[in-house]
Amino acid sequence: MLRCYRARKLIVPYLYGELDERARTQLEAHLDRCARCAAEVATRSETLQLIDRARQEVDYPERFEHRFPAMVRARIEMDDREPAVARPLWAPSPVRQVAVMFCTLLLGVLIGSSTMVFGGLRSAHYSRLVNDARQLEAVRKAIESERVLDQLVALKVQLAEEGKVHSFAKVAALENVLVDVMPLSDAEQRARYLARNADSEVVAGNFAEASRMYETLLQSCPESPLASDARQMVAFIAKEKLADYPEAARQYEVELARAEQRETTERMERAAFDLAETCLAMGEYDKAVDAYWSLLERFPTGSRTPAAMLKLSDLYFDRFRDFGTARELYYQLASGYGGAIDEMGARPRVETRLAMLEQSARYGFKPVEIFVEAAGITDQRAFGLYEKIIHMYPNTVVAKLALDELCVLASGPDLAPLASIDALSDEQRIDALRTVIARCRRKDVAAFAHMAIGDIFRDQIKDFRLARREYQYVLDRYPEYLEASEAQSRINKLVLAASEEDRRRS
Amino acid sequence: MVKNGESPPAATQREDELLVQDVLRGESGSFDTIVRRYQSIVYAVSYRLVRNREDALDIAQEAFIKAFRSLHTWQPTGAFKSWLLRIATNMSIDHLRRRSRMPAFVERDAVGQLEPDAVDERVRIKEPSERASESELGSAIQTAVDKLPEKQRTVFILRHYEGLSLKEIAEIMNCTEGTIKTHLFRATGKLRDELGAVRRDFMRG
């Protein structure tokens, strides 16, 4: 016989079907006799049914199944903080700089607290501690201020732009540490949670989801120092990963306005530049030009000046065909920003274009104009235009470039629209030049191409016999053209060099 | 009515052991398998406890990371799933305690974040005539569950919503099955009392 006290212990397992057969029979027998226990079971059972009726399903994030393992993996890697490339200890690294600041902060906190604990110690010792603490307090304030977060934000956006996911993860981890030690309001605490999740989505490559999370952060915590970071990331993802340019432009405009309000130059400049870049990507060239100019006017010595200037020059050259302005800008770039154009890998382009423009200025930039026009098309008409340049402006930089383009066109339809002359080996280039000779309608173009073949034999392959044969051909075949006299002088130089070589040997 | 909670079969336990050994040997890919195996339940438990998608996602991640870091301390005497869920449960509870110290935070979460979504979801499914009463029921239940003391609430969520067995819950909460039964008995009693009026209405309807 089961008593009420025992029966009650069985009610929960009974309700959840976890009783064995014997216990269940015993309990049911008891319930038949005991109205109170039966009511206990009935009311609880009804309650559970009621709760099931309004059961709320778990709200899983989108594509949780697939994304989650990647997020965890990314977070584990993020915490590992192993340098991707071994860096010498003395090498300056932005991450290291912030890490040093962070250590200083900890030291500051430690010394600060020891000052309080040992406040009653000897006065000299005490005042030294207070002095140290004051200095460290200044450092701490600097870290607390938006400045440090700004630097981190800039760094993160830059790393994301460069696709350096590992370093991005490290900076994000560092940012987490920094934000952790700062005194935070509730809103910022919340922002931190959101930012951390969004960052790990970036590391895991889930950009749409990351963007959504950054936007949640923006909406729920617009005043947080992380909001600027989030806006930059939303804009960056919209521009680079989702090709949603209008959204990117909108975000950069807001960022620019906010930076202007707070007068943070670095952020203002960055937002202005990114806005210009987005306009360019959208194909809104007029807007882009305005944006780049406004950047140059407002931040003439800023870190993005050379990049903006380069974009402007290219726009004037390729898009607007305003060669006078392009010449001026390329000239300023080449003369004042040598280091920057090297860094951007733009020196060959800047120098070639500048040379073209300088030389063709006296023809009212006509050859360059034809050149740019030809560059915009790839069919037989382009071939004719390049020939025209070589014919009308012989022995100029533009003529040489036109011959290069003819080679690219001649080396086949697959290559033509994409590749530059640099993609061709010496042999391929000679083959291409022979095709140009076969296809071209002007004798002077053919002579010019033969000369170019001779130059390749002479300068690249170092086969002087073949070089001489090529020059000789020009001399014999095209005696009435300018190239013939040039060929003669090159043959003479080769003969002279050969006899000197013989004399030296004997 | 209620999912039938069963202890993980011996085979699953054995597989978990092998996977953990692989991870400890340095095959981090095996940890992916572990994550895939338990991500749903870990997230679900965290979500049920903190009732906020972002926080639950954060906690679920943190739980796996913590498990990864302290994998060497896991003893195969208990189920791996229980060990993992203990980490997630403790983290969720810690989170709730922290949150309870921030009044503004709780308010926004409870009102602004969770409820509208949950209510909207039901409104889309149900008939218009049912709308008001069903959503009232939902929030009444949520309030009643929220009012339960921490341990009773956790046990109730693990058993009732996630269908874990009493034995598993005992492992997770690090106590005896008897204690779990007591918590559950009290929890169901309190819920019954709290929801008495609503229950009678619905039983009549």
What letter represents residue A461's amino acid? I
| B122, B188, B198: residue with CB nearest A44 | B188
Q: Is residue A282 a contact partner of residue A249, using CB atoms and an 8 Å limit? A: yes
**pLDDT attached to residue A330:** 92
Domain end residue (candidates: B62, B78, B101): B101
Same domain, A141 and A41: no
Same domain, B164 and B85: no
**Domain presence at residue A140:** yes
- Give how far Cα A343 sits from Cα of A340, A476, B60, B96, Å: 5, 47, 43, 51
> SS3 string of A351-370?
HHHHHHHHHHHHHCCHHHHH
Residue pLDDT, tens place only, A86-110: 333 333 345 445 555 565 555 544 4
- Quick one: DSSP state of residue A3? -
Residue B1 has pLDDT above 60, yes or no: no
Same domain, B15 and B91: yes
Long-range Cβ pairs for the range A454-458 (8 Å, 24+)? A454/A487, A454/A490, A456/A426, A456/A429, A456/A430, A457/A430, A458/A490, A458/A494
Distance CA B56, CA A376 (A): 54
Judging contacts by C-beta atoms under 8 Å, the chain A residues touching residue B137 are 50, 53-54
Q: Which two tokens stand for residue B55?
A: 């926080």
- Quick one: DSSP state of residue B72? G
Burial of B15 (C-beta count, 10 Å sphere; 0-12/13-18/19+): middle
**pLDDT attached to residue B164:** 94
Q: Is residue A37 a contact partner of residue A30, using CB atoms and an 8 Å limit? A: yes
Residue pLDDT, tens place only, B11-38: 888 889 999 999 988 887 899 999 999 9
Q: Which two tokens stand for residue A389?
A: 């340049």
Judging contacts by C-beta atoms under 8 Å, the chain A residues touching residue B60 are 68
Q: Which residue range is the domain that position B193 belongs to?
A: 148-205
Q: Which residues contact B21 (CB under 8 A, 6 or more apart)?
A: none
Residue pLDDT, tens place only, A188-230: 777 777 888 888 888 888 888 888 888 888 888 777 777 878 8
Judging contacts by C-beta atoms under 8 Å, the chain A residues touching residue B5 are 16, 18
- Quick one: DSSP state of residue A313? H
CA within 13 Å, CB half, A255: 33
**pLDDT attached to residue B133:** 66
Judging contacts by C-beta atoms under 8 Å, the chain A residues touching residue B102 are 186, 189
| A11, A16, A193: residue with CB nearest B54 | A193
Residue pLDDT, tens place only, A245-278: 888 888 888 888 887 777 777 778 888 888 898 8
Judging contacts by C-beta atoms under 8 Å, the chain A residues touching residue B142 are 56
Distance CA A20, CA A1 (A): 17
Distance CA A2, CA A147 (A): 73
Q: Is residue A34 a contact partner of residue B182, using CB atoms and an 8 Å limit? A: no
- Among residues 28-47 of chain B, which lie with CB inside 8 Å of chain A? 28, 31-32, 35-36, 39-40, 43-44, 47
Residue A381 has pLDDT above 50, yes or no: yes
Distance CA A227, CA A219 (A): 9
Q: Is residue A413 a contact partner of residue A375, using CB atoms and an 8 Å limit? A: no
- CA–chain centroid gap for B202, Å, is 26
Q: Which two tokens stand for residue A447?
A: 């002579």
Domain end residue (candidates: A225, A240, A255): A225
Q: Is residue A306 a contact partner of residue A341, using CB atoms and an 8 Å limit? A: yes
**Domain presence at residue A41:** yes
pLDDT band per the 50, 70, 90 thresholds, residue A114: very low
Same domain, A194 and A104: yes
Same domain, B156 and B74: no
Most confident of A151-160, A192-201, A351-360, B126-135: A351-360
Same domain, A78 and A40: no
pLDDT band per the 50, 70, 90 thresholds, residue B121: very low
**Domain presence at residue B2:** no
- Among residues 162-181 of chain B, which lie with CB inside 8 Å of chain A? 165-166, 181
Q: Is residue B88 a contact partner of residue B60, using CB atoms and an 8 Å limit? A: yes
**Domain presence at residue A149:** yes
Question: From B7, which residue of chain A is nearest by alpha-carbon distance?
Answer: A18
Judging contacts by C-beta atoms under 8 Å, the chain B residues touching residue A209 are none
- Residue corresponding to tokens 């952790």: A180
Same domain, A78 and A23: no
Same domain, A35 and A101: no
Same domain, A150 and A211: yes
Judging contacts by C-beta atoms under 8 Å, the chain B residues touching residue A196 are 58
**Domain presence at residue B205:** yes
Distance CA A384, CA A389 (A): 9
Residue B204 has pLDDT above 80, yes or no: no
**Domain presence at residue B140:** no
Other C-beta atoms closer than 10 Å to the C-beta of B14 total 12
Look over chain A and give the mean of its residue pLDDT values, rounded to a whole number.
Answer: 79
Domain end residue (candidates: A171, A195, A225): A225
Same domain, B93 and B177: no
CATH number at residue B204: 1.10.10.10
| A54, A64, A71: residue with CB nearest B137 | A54
| A9, A47, A73: residue with CB nearest B192 | A47
Residue A1 has pLDDT above 60, yes or no: yes
Q: Is residue A257 a contact partner of residue A237, using CB atoms and an 8 Å limit? A: no
Residue B54 has pLDDT above 50, yes or no: yes
Q: How far is B78 from chain A (nearest CA, A)?
A: 20
pLDDT band per the 50, 70, 90 thresholds, residue A115: very low
CB contact, 8 Å: B191 with chain A?
yes
Instruction: Kindly determine whether residue B138 and residue A54, on different chains, have CB atoms separated by under 8 Å.
Output: yes
Q: Which residues contact B104 (CB under 8 A, 6 or more apart)?
A: A186, A187
Q: Which two tokens stand for residue A340?
A: 């920057």
| B31, B57, B134: residue with CB nearest A54 | B134
Judging contacts by C-beta atoms under 8 Å, the chain A residues touching residue B161 are 55
Question: From A42, which residue of chain B is nearest by alpha-carbon distance?
Answer: B192
**Domain presence at residue A177:** yes
| B48, B65, B166: residue with CB nearest A18 | B166
Instruction: Kindly determine whether residue A61 and residue B134, on different chains, have CB atoms separated by under 8 Å.
Output: no
Q: Which two tokens stand for residue A188?
A: 């910022």
Instruction: Kindly determine whether residue B102 and residue A186, on different chains, have CB atoms separated by under 8 Å.
Output: yes
- Residue corresponding to tokens 């002007």: A442
Average pLDDT of A44-50?
Answer: 90
Residue A157 has pLDDT above 80, yes or no: no
Distance CA A442, CA A410 (A): 16
Q: Which two tokens stand for residue A379?
A: 């069919």
Instruction: Kindly determine whether residue A68 and residue B60, on different chains, have CB atoms separated by under 8 Å.
Output: yes
Q: Which two tokens stand for residue B120?
A: 């909207």
**Domain presence at residue A202:** yes
> What are phi and psi for residue A91, nearest 5 degrees?
-65, 135
Q: How far is B184 from chain A (nearest CA, A)?
A: 7
Q: How far is B138 from chain A (nearest CA, A)?
A: 5
Instruction: Kindly determine whether residue A197 and residue B58, on different chains, have CB atoms separated by under 8 Å.
Output: yes
**pLDDT attached to residue A346:** 87
* Candidates B3, B54, B169, B182, partner chain A, best to mutate (most A CBs within 10 A): B54
Instruction: Kindly determine whether residue B181 and residue A197, on different chains, have CB atoms separated by under 8 Å.
Output: no
Judging contacts by C-beta atoms under 8 Å, the chain B residues touching residue A50 are 137, 141, 195, 198-199, 202
Same domain, A19 and A105: no
Residue pLDDT, tens place only, A384-415: 889 889 888 887 888 988 998 888 888 765 54
**Domain presence at residue A17:** yes
Judging contacts by C-beta atoms under 8 Å, the chain B residues touching residue A74 are none
Domain end residue (candidates: B40, B73, B101): B101
- CA–chain centroid gap for A266, Å, is 18
Secondary element (H or E) of residue A421: none
- Quick one: DSSP state of residue B112? I
Domain count, chain A: 2
Closest CA to A18 of B184, B14, B152: B184
CB pairs under 8 A between A and B: 134
> SS3 string of A155-194?
HHHHHHHCCCHHHHHHHHHHHHHHHHHCCCCHHHHHHHHH
Same domain, A27 and A76: no
Residue B99 has pLDDT above 50, yes or no: yes
Q: Which two tokens stand for residue A474?
A: 């020009």
Distance CA A369, CA A465 (A): 39
Q: Which residues contact A62 (CB under 8 A, 6 or more apart)?
A: A209
**pLDDT attached to residue B47:** 94
Domain end residue (candidates: B101, B136, B165): B101
**Domain presence at residue B141:** no
Distance CA A301, CA A310 (A): 15
Domain count, chain B: 2
Q: How far is A32 from chain B (nearest CA, A)?
A: 20
Burial of A386 (C-beta count, 10 Å sphere; 0-12/13-18/19+): buried
Average pLDDT of A314-336?
Answer: 89
Look over chain B and give the mean of its residue pLDDT values, rounded to a whole number.
Answer: 80
* Candidates A43, A45, A77, A185, partner chain B, best to mutate (most B CBs within 10 A): A43
Instruction: Kindly determine whether residue A75 and residue B53, on different chains, have CB atoms separated by under 8 Å.
Output: no
Closest CA to A399 of A448, A350, A447, A361: A448
**Domain presence at residue A278:** no
Residue A79 has pLDDT above 70, yes or no: no
Percentage of chain A beyond pLDDT 90 is: 12
Same domain, A46 and A73: no
**pLDDT attached to residue A232:** 83
Q: How far is A298 from chain B (nearest CA, A)?
A: 41
Question: From B6, which residue of chain A is nearest by alpha-carbon distance?
Answer: A18
**pLDDT attached to residue A152:** 67
Same domain, A104 and A152: yes
Residue pLDDT, tens place only, B59-90: 999 999 999 988 988 888 889 999 999 999 99
Same domain, A72 and A39: no
What letter represents residue A147's amino acid? R
Same domain, B94 and B158: no
Torsion sign, CA atoms A40, A42, A45, A49: negative
Domain end residue (candidates: A225, A244, A262): A225
- Residue corresponding to tokens 């690219």: A408
Closest CA to B98 of B109, B85, B111: B109
| A55, A59, A75: residue with CB nearest B61 | A75
Residue pLDDT, tens place only, B126-156: 444 444 466 778 888 888 998 999 999 999 9
Distance CA B110, CA B118 (A): 11
What letter represents residue B117's amino acid? D
Same domain, A29 and A166: no
Q: Which two tokens stand for residue A136?
A: 């460290």
**pLDDT attached to residue A311:** 92
Q: Which residue range is the domain that position A75 belongs to?
A: 68-83+94-225
Judging contacts by C-beta atoms under 8 Å, the chain B residues touching residue A49 are 1
**Domain presence at residue A131:** yes
- Residue corresponding to tokens 């943190």: B62
Question: From B144, which residue of chain A is nearest by alpha-carbon distance?
Answer: A51
Q: Is residue B82 a contact partner of residue B171, using CB atoms and an 8 Å limit? A: yes
* A377 or B124, greater pLDDT: A377
CA within 13 Å, CB half, A418: 6
> What are phi and psi for residue A479, nearest 5 degrees?
-65, -25
* B4 or A287, greater pLDDT: A287
Residue pLDDT, tens place only, B86-98: 999 999 998 888 7
**Domain presence at residue B83:** yes
Most confident of A226-235, A413-422, A450-459, B133-142: A450-459
**pLDDT attached to residue A406:** 87
- Among residues 106-165 of chain B, which lie with CB inside 8 Å of chain A? 108, 117-118, 121-122, 134, 137-138, 141-142, 145, 159-161, 165
CATH number at residue B67: 1.10.1740.10
- Among residues 52-91 of chain B, which lie with CB inside 8 Å of chain A? 53-55, 57-58, 60-61, 64-65, 68
Q: Is residue B180 a contact partner of residue B170, using CB atoms and an 8 Å limit? A: yes
User: What ipTM did this prediction achieve?
Assistant: 0.80
